[in-house]
Structure 1
Amino acid sequence: SVACLVEETQWPLETGSVDKLVVMHGLETSDRPFDLLQECYRVLGPGGRALFIVPNRVGLWARSDCTPFGYGRPYSLGQVEALLKSHGLIPERHVGALYAPPSDKRFWLRTAAFWEKSGRRIPTMVAGGVLMVEVSKQIPAPKRPGLSEAVRRPLRILGGMSVPAAKPV
């Protein structure tokens, strides 16, 4: 695991050199989310996977300024999936998290385990402070087949074999 501070759209990584990538507090705080996603696509290798963690538009965490998810752009599940698909990243699965309210009050801290356990039964679009979306990089197939070349003499692999005929029973 390596961490470094870099420009969000100019990572010091070779193209296709990353197998797994975690982007947290990236999309919602980025000034240029489209460029950030292009950079994610560039560094991911073929079949590489990435986990994007973004604030849920309907979650309590995105509505509170006392949390890191209260700043920037929150997303609905449809919005984040459409954004990722538009950059060649295929959503594989998604899950919500952070169901306990964002509070430092003793009651909420003591009951946080209950809220987290109960929240998993509620649909992601309705609850959860964050959305976690796992994607994979799919390389598009070439637009046309490889170089065309005329066949001078076809191979006769099955030459000499007889054609089966139906026999009466």
Structure 2
Amino acid sequence: MRPDAQRLNRFYSSGVGLRVARAVRARIAPLWNLNARTRLLGLGYCAPFVAGLTDVCERVALGHPARQGVDRWPVGAPNRAVLLDDLALPFHDALFDVVLCVHLLDFGDPVRHLREIWRVLAPGGQLILVLANRSGVWTHFDASPFGAGRPFTPSQITVQLEECMFGLRRWDTCLVMPPRRWLMPLEPLAYWLAPELGGLMVIDAEKLDGPAAIPAGGKRLRVAQPAPTI
């Protein structure tokens, strides 16, 4: 069951959620291919992972699935978060250079999502995915939103990326220890011993050239609904 925006906000405001955000940002940081001309789209729930990037990129936008709900982002600045149909993105083809997905593929049809992302990515564009790892323990804990959706194995997501004309460049994991604050100080040792058991996978992929991907289906929306002004 997809967690709503309020639940996700509460999780990422908690002690465990703040640690998750730090761990994921540390894995993503070396992967970013950003500059002053980069157009970045975050899909799912990406606010905890893109802080500060509005000063780095030409454009940063967050797309929240309609079934999830939307939070205003960033706080205290012009809103850049919109509510949209995640299977019919209201954006022109090849508009974005980088797409980040967190809490997206776990709650729908991964192939349909990836085809639509392929459409809005520029040639050679970068796709970064954060997914629950089937071999890790986080998928078994309901206290984390990563335990609410579908987990993946590295081979499963690699096959689906290839089917949708993405090339896997690298993958990593993080958060081997369960989502319990008293266990998290052991995380560096646990990751050193068994990185393949990390609860989350961070995937770096590239859009490959080829014939246009099959549209996700249905009529594409042309107008996104912004979060209400606070």
Structure 1 position 75, deviation (Å): 0.5
- Which whole-Å CA distance do the structure 2 matches of 1:91 and 1:29 have between them? 21
- Which residue identity lines up with residue 81 of structure 1 in the other structure? T
- Which whole-Å CA distance do the structure 1 matches of 2:180 and 2:148 have between them? 16
Determine what percentage of the aligned residue pairs are the same residue: 26
What is the aligned partner in structure 2 of residue 33 from structure 1?
A: 110
Question: Which has a greater percent of helix?
Answer: 2
Among 164, 167, 186, the alignment partner of 1:87 is 164
What is the aligned partner in structure 1 of residue 76 from structure 2?
A: none
| 1:53 maps to 2:130 | yes
Provide the aligned length of Structure 1 versus Structure 2: 133
| 1:140 maps to 2:210 | yes
Q: 1:100–1:116: 8 Å Cα contact kept in structure 2?
A: no
What is the aligned partner in structure 2 of residue 108 from structure 1?
A: 183
Moved more, 42-51 or 3-12: 3-12
- Which residue identity lines up with residue 100 of structure 1 in the other structure? M
What is the aligned partner in structure 2 of residue 2 from structure 1?
A: 61
Structure 1 position 23, deviation (Å): 0.5
- Which whole-Å CA distance do the structure 2 matches of 1:16 and 1:42 have between them? 6
Structure 1 position 81, deviation (Å): 0.7
- When the two structures are superposed, what TM-score results if normalisation uses the length of structure 1? 0.73
Shift of the 57–121 alpha-carbon distance from structure 1 to 2, 3 Å rule, reads: same
Moved more, 14-23 or 3-12: 3-12
Runs of 4+ in 1 over 4 A off after TM superposition: none
| 1:13 maps to 2:84 | no
Q: 2:177–2:190: 8 Å Cα contact kept in structure 1?
A: no
| 1:97 maps to 2:174 | yes
- Which whole-Å CA distance do the structure 2 matches of 1:128 and 1:72 have between them? 16
- The CA deviation string for residues 19-43 of structure 1, in whole angstroms up to 9 with x for no partner, is 011011111112x222111111100
- Which whole-Å CA distance do the structure 2 matches of 1:121 and 1:96 have between them? 13
- When the two structures are superposed, what TM-score results if normalisation uses the length of structure 2? 0.54
User: If you compute each CA radius of gyration, which structure gives the higher value, 1 or 2?
Assistant: 1
What stretches of structure 1 of length at least 5 have no aligned partner?
Answer: 142-169
Secondary structure of the structure 1 residue equivalent to 2:90: coil
What is the aligned partner in structure 1 of residue 152 from structure 2?
A: 75
Structure 1 position 100, deviation (Å): 2.5
- Which whole-Å CA distance do the structure 2 matches of 1:72 and 1:82 have between them? 19
Q: 2:176–2:195: 8 Å Cα contact kept in structure 1?
A: no
Secondary structure of the structure 2 residue equivalent to 1:48: strand
- Which residue identity lines up with residue 148 of structure 2 in the other structure? Y
What is the aligned partner in structure 2 of residue 128 from structure 1?
A: 198
